Amino acid sequence: MNLQFSTTCAAATLIVALGVPGLAAGDSTPLIKTELQGVDGMEVNIVDYDVGPDWVTDRHIHPGHVFVHVTEGSLEVAVEGREPQTVAAGEVLYEEPNQPMVGRSVSAEGVKFTVFQIGPTGEPLMVAQPE
């Protein structure tokens, strides 16, 4: 698998995963959702996001492997039990499945990013995890 394809898929997954109810205003554009040929029971979701400076998710998990590629601004990802991590334009973040987390914009101008998730077919990208 080439690096460009891998990066693009990862970013799309994160975007789709974050594009659920419980988020502050922002736009999301689904790019692709498809089953993986030769990998039974797995699918890929890729979504672009363009969110404002006040954007924040509810506490949630992703049932699949998520990659987030930030193209403009900065995004903070706080995975439970770890120090929050800031992802700036041009950087990619990997999130393991089923880890409670919260994502938020940390840029005055908002953030543009792509989420890529590889996970079980039919599972949502994001599942709420109230405390």
DSSP per-residue letters across 110-127: -EEEEEEEEEETT--S-E
Q: Give the homologous superfamily in CATH for domain 3-122.
A: Jelly Rolls (2.60.120.10)
Q: How far apart, in whole angstroms, are the C-alpha atoms of residue 50 and residue 112? A: 4
* Tens digits of residue pLDDT in 84-95: 999 999 999 999
The residue whose two tokens read 């987030």 is 68
Q: Sign of the CA dihedral 53, 85, 32, 8?
A: positive
Question: Residue 87: CB partners within 8 Å, gap ≥ 6?
Answer: 68, 70, 74, 75, 76, 77, 93, 113
Whole-number pLDDT of residue 14: 41
* Tens digits of residue pLDDT in 17-49: 444 434 455 799 999 999 999 999 999 999 999
- The two three-digit tokens of residue 52, written as one number: 């404002």
Mean pLDDT of 98-103: 96
Is residue 110 scored above 90 in pLDDT? yes
